[in-house]
Chain A
């Protein structure tokens, strides 16, 4: 997890570890990193990463929510919210 910024949030670290596989350019991953603009991954790949996150936390993240997410921070926040709702 070379490019990951220090953060004690476990969800943040988990999301970064999943994104690392697609981080071809070695972009430093922070809460502000824009998934599509900075990491240059397409919208379908974002959906596929979300599926891994869903299985990891046993939650469902609706496509409607994902389409509003731009940054890693927003994705992490959405996971926290949904974890609370669905637990």
Chain B
């Protein structure tokens, strides 16, 4: 009996696929970054169309300059947690800036987006009196937050407010706190939640709403404040969580709320207290990107133009897409093997996308997840469309 026995069947499957192409979709090394949308991989320049760099700000001048200055003034790392020596003036300032941007009263910065959800959910819900209700397609960090909290967790059908309503009705009178967790835009399919309906139903049952806008912050809403802004319920969300590692082009995460009790998390959330705080450079870059998002709506316009162009092109090519046009455009493939071969085909044609296969995907689908960026030039997108055109021809020949 070995510790490693449980990995063997997955490992065998994984290595077999890798052997066929000589390439590892889950171990690609970007050998040299050439900008927000291009990298050298195995000596070849590749268009990056499988990132979360929605607004393309990773090389933006002000963000780069702010990060450089922060390193010079405050050092390369904080070497401690927010709870101890790791809170600098810049961490506090970014919390205020994020709260102001969203129009919320309180905000807490975490070291990653993963930890923001993990930290908020695990601290807010406690067994045996509280219950967490989560959308079935929620990200792993929400599931892990539930597990770390230990509270009873009930799934409802993805993007189905009625399914949540039913489950809230079934809860017994002994339940004290109810926490509903949903996301704005879901990362794998790029589909968007009816946030307004969910908030209304949750509040009708006396439940709190935690909304993760990781993929929709900076992307949805007139001011880039997410799907809840689009739905007109920005101020009704109880806990708004987000990340710095997508539109904010850095790494870190946050939870914002109008409940003053949010501050309790600073002495009760283990993922906040027992990990080092984000580095000064990360904080500075996120702050500069936030400033850019608030002052330059043309980034969002460019992003959406790019998303619509790719969505229309793929639809015309006959790909089965998982959702209406959004910055994530996922195409369904027949099975794992076909998806793997298609992913490799795109790499050979100069395009990196994300391969996603079960159990990491909803409904056991195998997909190629493409994400567009405001930084994609027309030329970048030409490369993408021609690679997918060649792929669609190759797939139809395979069928014959």
Q: Establish whether residues A51 and B153, one from each chain, have CB atoms under 8 Å apart when the complex forms.
A: no
Residues in chain A near residue B152, CB distance under 8 A: 62, 64
Residues in chain A near residue B359, CB distance under 8 A: 42-45
B interface residues (Cβ-Cβ under 8 A, vs A): 136, 143, 146, 150, 152-155, 157, 163, 166-167, 170-172, 358-359, 363-364
A17, chain B: closest CB distance, angstroms? 19
Residues in chain A near residue B157, CB distance under 8 A: 51
A interface residues (Cβ-Cβ under 8 A, vs B): 42-45, 47-48, 50-51, 54-55, 58-64, 86
Q: Can you list 29 A-B pairs, Cβ within 8 angstroms, ordered by A?
A: A42-B358, A42-B364, A43-B359, A44-B359, A44-B364, A45-B358, A45-B359, A45-B364, A47-B136, A48-B363, A51-B136, A51-B157, A54-B167, A55-B163, A55-B166, A58-B166, A59-B170, A60-B170, A61-B154, A62-B152, A62-B153, A62-B154, A63-B146, A63-B154, A63-B155, A64-B150, A64-B153, A86-B170, A86-B172
Closest to A62 in B: B152
Check A48/B136 contact, CB under 8 A, given A62-B153, A63-B154.
Answer: yes
Residues in chain B near residue A42, CB distance under 8 A: 358-359, 364
B137, chain A: closest CB distance, angstroms? 10
Residues in chain B near residue A58, CB distance under 8 A: 166, 170
When chains A and B are docked, how far (Å) is the Cα of A59 from the Cα of B167?
A: 8
When chains A and B are docked, how far (Å) is the Cα of A37 from the Cα of B358?
A: 17
When chains A and B are docked, how far (Å) is the Cα of A62 from the Cα of B363?
A: 20
Given contacts A51-B136, A51-B155, A62-B152, 4 further A-B contacts (CB under 8 A): A42-B358, A45-B358, A48-B363, A54-B167
Q: Establish whether residues B155 and A47, one from each chain, have CB atoms under 8 Å apart when the complex forms.
A: yes
Residues in chain A near residue B153, CB distance under 8 A: 62-64
The 7 closest A-B pairs by CB, nearest first: A42-B359, A44-B359, A63-B153, A62-B152, A60-B154, A60-B170, A60-B167
Residues in chain A near residue B166, CB distance under 8 A: 55, 58
A52, chain B: closest CB distance, angstroms? 10
Residues in chain B near residue A45, CB distance under 8 A: 358-359, 364
When chains A and B are docked, how far (Å) is the Cα of A51 from the Cα of B135?
A: 12
Residues in chain A near residue B358, CB distance under 8 A: 42, 44-45
A45, chain B: closest CB distance, angstroms? 6
Residues in chain B near residue A61, CB distance under 8 A: 154
When chains A and B are docked, how far (Å) is the Cα of A61 from the Cα of B131?
A: 12
The winner among A50, A51, A61, A86 for most chain B CB atoms within 10 A is A51
Residues in chain A near residue B155, CB distance under 8 A: 47, 50-51, 63
Residues in chain B near residue A60, CB distance under 8 A: 154, 167, 170-171
When chains A and B are docked, how far (Å) is the Cα of A51 from the Cα of B170?
A: 14
Residues in chain B near residue A59, CB distance under 8 A: 170
A63, chain B: closest CB distance, angstroms? 4
A16, chain B: closest CB distance, angstroms? 20
Closest to B127 in A: A64
Closest to A54 in B: B167
Closest to B364 in A: A45
B164, chain A: closest CB distance, angstroms? 11
Residues in chain A near residue B170, CB distance under 8 A: 58-60, 86
Residues in chain A near residue B172, CB distance under 8 A: 86
When chains A and B are docked, how far (Å) is the Cα of A26 from the Cα of B196?
A: 44
When chains A and B are docked, how far (Å) is the Cα of A69 from the Cα of B271?
A: 29
When chains A and B are docked, how far (Å) is the Cα of A62 from the Cα of B156?
A: 10
When chains A and B are docked, how far (Å) is the Cα of A60 from the Cα of B319?
A: 37
When chains A and B are docked, how far (Å) is the Cα of A62 from the Cα of B167?
A: 11
When chains A and B are docked, how far (Å) is the Cα of A45 from the Cα of B361?
A: 11
When chains A and B are docked, how far (Å) is the Cα of A44 from the Cα of B361?
A: 9
